[in-house]
Chains A and B, each alone.
Chain A
C-alpha cells in the first residue's frame, strides 16, 4: 500500500502571499490530521478532518484553514503568510479518529 503523500515537498513564498498544501492519505483512510513542526514550538496540531468534516481544531489563527474532499484527500491553506509560518507541515492519515496515525514526509515551507 502506498503511504501518505504530500505535495509539494518544498515551497518558498514571500510575506503576504497565500499557500495551499496537499495531502493524499493511505487508501481506505478517512481521517486526515495536519501538524506544524518548528524548532521553537515543536509539533503542534492544526486540525483533523473525517469524511469531509472538520472534527477538531488546534490553537491557530483563522489564516490557517483546511478542507477534505470526498476521496479523503485534504488540503490546507495559509493566507497572508508571515515569517513565523516557516515550518515543516506534516499530514497524517488514519482509519478513524482513535486509530494510529501514519505520517507523510511533510512539506517544508519557507516564508521570506
Chain B
C-alpha cells in the first residue's frame, strides 16, 4: 500500500526566507510523486511532479523538489518566500499500477510573515 506523510501541519516563514516543506512516502513500486498547492476556496494546482526522470524537479513559481529514494523523501523547497506563497500544500503519490488514484498527505499550511 502507498502512503504519504507530511511533517508539520503548519509552517511559518518570513518573507524572503527559505521555504522547506517535508514529505515522506511509502510505496512498494516505483512512485510518481506530486506537489499541489491549494489557495482558499479553490481547487488544487500542480506545482511539480516526479516520474522517474531527473531526481531534482523544478516546478512553477520558483519551487523545486528532490526525490531521494534512500530516504523515501520528496521535500519541497523555495529559496525565497513571497507573501503570495501563503497557501496549503499537498504531497501526493501514485504509481503505474494505481491508475488515476492519488494518495495525498494531510497537507501543510504555509504562512509567510512580512
Q: Do A and B share a complex? A: yes
Q: Residues of A with Cβ closer than 8 Å to B? A: 4, 31-33, 35, 42-45, 48, 50, 55-56, 58, 90, 92, 94, 97-98, 100-106
Find out whether the CB atom of A33 lies under 8 angstroms from the CB atom of B100. Answer: yes
Q: Is B72 an interface residue (CB 8 A)?
A: no
Contact across chains for A90 and B100 when beta carbons are under 8 A apart: no
Residue B28 lies at the interface, judged by CB distance under 8 Å to chain A: no
Q: B82 an interface residue at 8 Å Cβ cutoff? A: no
- CB of A11, distance to nearest CB on chain B (Å): 15
Closest 4 CB pairs of A and B: A48-B100, A103-B43, A43-B104, A97-B99
A90 to B96, CA, bound (A): 22
CB of B104 within 8 A of CB of A100, answer no
Given known A-B contacts A56-B98, A98-B32, A98-B96, A104 and B104 have beta carbons under 8 A apart: no
Please name all residues of chain A whose beta carbon is closer than 8 Å to the beta carbon of B36 when the two chains form the complex: 103
Say how far A100's CB is from chain B's closest CB, in angstroms: 6
Task: Return the contact of A45 from the options B43, B90, B101, B106 (Cβ within 8 A).
Answer: B101
Min CB gap A75→B, angstroms: 16
Contact string against A for B residues 40-51, beta-carbon threshold 8 Å, 1 for contact and 0 otherwise: 011111100100
